[in-house]
Structure 1
């Protein structure tokens, strides 16, 4: 089969998503990838050869106008209990290639990186000097084994807008709660950039976080506490073919939330609170979690952890079109003032409290003042807008979200207003449901000025199937007039960011209990340039099929509370 016949009739990006393209027997740029003719793997999984070390796939991330990070991790036995993936206790050289075409005929960069036991045989290749606004293909080789090929891209030149940006964002993929179908459907959207806003993996032991109807799959190993445990858990997630497809499809920008370490941790305070004797042990746990997180993500050298500390907040520029401010709302936050959960908490308004910490807050506000982007996008983890669940005079809000840090939220909102940020948009994960909101200067005054927009993605699987819902019936939308949309199914959000508008399609899948479900658009919102707030342009009719709850209140409480307490 010739190269032309292999790709005939196939969109090259679809081919990548569906097969995990394997190209062998080609010599280019001084790197010989031998081992037979080019072949396509089955549509749902690349058939591994015996001893294949590329069982965890490939990924790219943190694009700049002239480069990006390439990632892989070698593992012949991904679920090995020691977390080392069945690899020998020695350094393994890994060759890599970057090409301008899917067949690797025009290789522009190549080299060799060392996969070391100390980093669980992970590889991070940080590239610069490439052409701006371009697609590139990449792959790895060690011994006789060649990895699947991935597709990535550089951002536009800082002085140009470039074409419209197809950006998607996701969060909350609990392996036990369902199949990662939404990742597969997202890959098929052919995005230019994917943001993951936290809870990439979950720490729980098998069946300790159960959903109505029972879990779909099982976690391997005990609750993650040690470095070996976190490495094994990441490997289990990375072994999923749908997640691998999403990583191959585009570069990612990642930030963590709580479950990459432990449920509802805050700064150096574990879930059980600051008075527990396990505080020192928690910092050891945090160090192990951060080490494994870096090893398994396409992050730059600036994010190499140092013990229990990691630099994850950062800024990525997409030409003149967009600036992405990626936040860390866990590592530097004050502990939740009144404990976790949805409750009345006057201390949440204490001006001394911060969810970002003073240094990160200053960095963000400085970024607003210096920004020249048409769209300033804040990628972060927890609900930003006020979300009061009490219809009376009391204010009952989630203390794990920005509602537990009211003054911190106001300083940042006032900061982008004072800096005259042209189009501020907050992107959020965490709550296992789709939401959309106008951001207000004063949430207690519904007539106050709208100063921005918030888009919240549902989970990939966390919480199970959920159910379709009529936003008009949701009590939170009646209490909080700035909340514009809610849906409790699983899915993702894909946006198209242009000079004149940002369009957001809220995508859902009907089930994650079985694989292969189709995705559809539940609602579409548009944000127009220089017009803060959301305009809804489409809403799919509500279907009254209930999947995981007996009545609407069950769904509401499960969605709001499930991330704020250990099940």
Structure 2
């Protein structure tokens, strides 16, 4: 009987494999020349950064994923990894195959960067190491650059704190079978077990100390990738990833750590190296010391261009000591959240764009969120509110370039939001020039609670803020030439595995009509009851409560 796609995606844990030569061989493990006695594909498979003629395939070999040295229990020797790419999920029509060396110096990770494939096609891939075979992953190339029609099913996610809950949202996302997944930051968290507590407690713990060394970061990434729900999401579609702060440490900015730390440059270099090793990124993103090229574009024909931003590595330090402040420095025109080079790259991309939809995939809240009802503005210094001139230049840039449809996708704040973007937030009647969609966290801050009104209290004096909900989940979109539809998907709880998912609200952005039109706000009675029951069981109190946001 043929293997159905759904059976494939819901099968047991996805595996991992090795890498090409990137760094020297490790010298701290006794050489072992015997065969691999246990399955090395414990961390799954992944693909990423699709183009019309190819993509990156990824895996990492680890027989003991949580080994303290970060090397996954692998012998200190090169392991040959064979890979196959097929046009069908049973591999009857193999279109490409090859071999790569998984080396100890890069923790036995593998990046296979393929080209020369057909545009707009679905493919299946797997790896072999000695007598072991990985699970199968599905991926695809993007449409031809000239293609204008069709549609794209894209979902985006952020903030998956392993300790705060189970990754069921990744599983539900995989069941949707999207064609592209964006991860907008905080893929993993740096804390030692028990340091960062969800309001209702942590149902599981981090392994190892706070991540500081390369071994720490490798071990932490491996722990996250042992999760079968995350593996299912990686296996279902190509990913495009960008980091935020927790991939290194909370609230870092360029070379400035959260707290004074002379060892921060080494920590940042270790974090970047482990991030590259564990993500399906192209060789253009291989770190060089404390530097890593992460901002880039992915084009889905002429339907959509995704401008993926890096708002950590080049930013000025947060103004006025970070936090929510009334801070004059936030308006300093010299301050930047992107750095000058990235800003120029983005503005040039707007001017050259022929896409129906220009989509910014980035990390922190873009639109204004004033949390003070009075005349004095109190804003988050860690968001674009703390870099007002940067936001103004980029917003004006897409207006001046006559970008057809500008949409900003955001993570970070552990809640669903939808808002309309302005050139002048002080004038509520001013023209809307773009739209922002903000995804909640996969787990970070725990179960959360439904907000029946779908409205945050701040919306009373921030009328461009159109939707808010504080449950965990992700955003599912359908992009066509005529409209972008966004479903805010939520789970009633993450403190236990297996939660159902439902659409809390849906909005449409019509072609050439910036702004939001709500088309659904209908959590099912069963889902609402489940959410209420979970909240009561966890002691969360009333569902309408709006907890503090923007925690680390």
SS class of match (1:408):
helix
Aligned to 1:497: 479
Q: Check whether the contact 2:454–2:469 (CA below 8 A) recurs between aligned residues.
A: no
Distance 1:554 1:319 in 2: 43
Q: Deviations over 1:415-470 (max 9, x none)?
A: 00000000000000000000000001101110111000000000000000000003
1:296-315 matches, cutoff 5 A: 296-315=278-297
Aligned to 1:520: 502
Q: Over aligned residues, Cα RMSD in angstroms?
A: 1.6
Aligned to 2:433: 451
Match of 1:529 among 491, 511, 514: 511
Match of 2:136 among 149, 174, 181: 149
Alignment partner of 1:321 is 2:303: yes
Distance 1:532 1:473 in 2: 20
1:540-559 matches, cutoff 5 A: 540=522, 543=528, 545=532, 546=535, 549-550=540-541, 555-557=546-548, 559=549
1:349-360 matches, cutoff 5 A: 349-360=331-342
Aligned to 2:459: 477
Aligned to 2:205: 218
Q: Check whether the contact 1:16–1:248 (CA below 8 A) recurs between aligned residues.
A: no
Distance 1:125 1:339 in 2: 43
Q: How many residues align?
A: 523
Aligned to 1:116: 103
Distance 2:520 2:539 in 1: 26
Give the direction of change, closer, same or farther, for the CA distance of 1:330–1:465 in structure 2 (3 Å limit).
same
Aligned to 2:329: 347
Distance 2:148 2:102 in 1: 37
Give the direction of change, closer, same or farther, for the CA distance of 1:486–1:472 in structure 2 (3 Å limit).
closer
Alignment partner of 1:420 is 2:402: yes
SS class of match (2:489):
strand
Give the direction of change, closer, same or farther, for the CA distance of 1:98–1:441 in structure 2 (3 Å limit).
same
Match of 1:74 among 61, 72, 75: 61
Distance 2:444 2:93 in 1: 42
Give the direction of change, closer, same or farther, for the CA distance of 1:20–1:60 in structure 2 (3 Å limit).
farther
Distance 1:17 1:480 in 2: 42
Match of 1:256 among 243, 254, 257: 243
Give the direction of change, closer, same or farther, for the CA distance of 1:293–1:21 in structure 2 (3 Å limit).
closer
Distance 2:277 2:227 in 1: 17
1:72-151 matches, cutoff 5 A: 72-151=59-138
Aligned to 1:27: none
Distance 1:436 1:244 in 2: 29
Alignment partner of 1:64 is 2:81: no
**Deviation for aligned residue 1:345:** 1.1
Give the direction of change, closer, same or farther, for the CA distance of 1:553–1:503 in structure 2 (3 Å limit).
closer
Aligned to 1:330: 312
Aligned to 2:33: none
Aligned to 2:157: 170
Q: Check whether the contact 1:466–1:555 (CA below 8 A) recurs between aligned residues.
A: no
Q: Check whether the contact 2:449–2:544 (CA below 8 A) recurs between aligned residues.
A: no
Q: Check whether the contact 1:13–1:249 (CA below 8 A) recurs between aligned residues.
A: no
Alignment partner of 1:368 is 2:350: yes
**Deviation for aligned residue 1:21:** 9.3
SS class of match (2:547):
helix
Give the direction of change, closer, same or farther, for the CA distance of 1:205–1:391 in structure 2 (3 Å limit).
same
Q: Check whether the contact 1:21–1:149 (CA below 8 A) recurs between aligned residues.
A: no
Distance 1:136 1:20 in 2: 20
SS class of match (2:205):
coil
Aligned to 1:36: none
Alignment partner of 1:486 is 2:468: yes
Distance 2:271 2:509 in 1: 37
Distance 1:548 1:383 in 2: 29
Q: Check whether the contact 1:151–1:249 (CA below 8 A) recurs between aligned residues.
A: yes
Distance 2:400 2:145 in 1: 24
SS class of match (2:50):
coil
Alignment partner of 1:185 is 2:176: no
Distance 1:50 1:534 in 2: 56
Give the direction of change, closer, same or farther, for the CA distance of 1:189–1:396 in structure 2 (3 Å limit).
same
TM-score (norm 1): 0.90
Give the direction of change, closer, same or farther, for the CA distance of 1:308–1:513 in structure 2 (3 Å limit).
same
Distance 1:535 1:162 in 2: 23
**Deviation for aligned residue 1:213:** 2.1
**Deviation for aligned residue 1:555:** 3.6
Q: Check whether the contact 2:421–2:436 (CA below 8 A) recurs between aligned residues.
A: yes
Distance 1:548 1:104 in 2: 50
